[in-house]
Amino acid sequence: MRIDGRKNEQIRQVNIIRNYNKYAEGSVLIESGNTRVICTASIEDKVPIFLKGKGEGWITCEYSMIPRATQIRKIRDAVRGKIDGRTMEIQRLIGRSLRSVVDMKALGEKTIWIDCDVIQADGGTRTTSITGAFIALVDAVNSLHKKKSFKVYPIRNFVSAISVGIVNGDKMLDLCYQEDSNASVDMNIVMTDEEEYIEIQGTGEKNPFSKKDFNELLELAEKGIKNVISIQKGVLKNDCLWIGTGEEIG
C-alpha cells in the first residue's frame, strides 16, 4: 500500500467543478488528490502577428503557483521579475498538448488563452493542469458555438495526462509529491482518447532504466489516462458529443 492507501495502479480521486469562474468562457477547479488547480479559458478575437490573415486560430497557456501552494512559500514571478525555467516548460507543455487536438482552421482567427493556477501542489500539477484545461477549453469552444456555429467542430480528440514512476522498485501510477521526490524514474505522459501520444517526458532520476521498464510504465500510464478521460467525459456529458466527429454543426 502507498502513502495514501492506493494500489500501485490506482489514480488519485479526481473531482472537477465546471464554471468555477464567473467571467471566463470556460473554467474548472480540478482536484487530483491534494493537488488543486484552477483552469480558465479566455477568448480573444485576434491572433498573434505570425498568424494574421491566415484564417487560423491559436491556443496558448500561462501557468503559475500561488505562493503557498507548496510547503514553503514560493516568491511570485512578478516579484522576481522573470518566469523560472520550470514554469516556462510547463506552460509550453500545456499549450502544445491542447493545440495538438484542435483544428486551428476550424477555430478561425481567435486566440484561446489557457490559465492554470495551482492553489495547492502535491505532485502532478502539470498533468492535472492539462486534464482540467481541456474541459475549460471545451466549454470555451462551446460558448463560441452558441453565438455562431462552426462549420466543423474544432476539437478533434480528448486529451489528458498522468505521471508514472518507479519508487523503491515499484512501478506506480499518478505520483503524489512524496512519491515523486523519491522516485528513481519519473515520467509524465500526455495522450489522446485514441491512444496516441502527444508527449513523453521521462527521466532516470537516480539510475538508468530499461526498455522493459519503459514499456511497462507506458502501459500503466495508458490505463490511468483512459480512466481520467472517462472522468472528463462524465463531467462534460452531452457537451462533448461533437468532439472528434469532424462534421458540420447544424
The verdict on whether residue 131 carries a ligand-binding annotation is no
Q: Distance between CA atoms of 14 and 185, rounded to whole angstroms? A: 24
Task: Name 186's Cβ contacts closer than 8 Å, sequence gap at least 6.
Answer: 163, 165, 175, 180, 202, 203, 205
The response to whether 125 counts as a known ligand-binding position is yes
Numbered residues of the known binding site = 86, 124-126
Numbered residues of the known binding site for phosphate = 86, 124-126
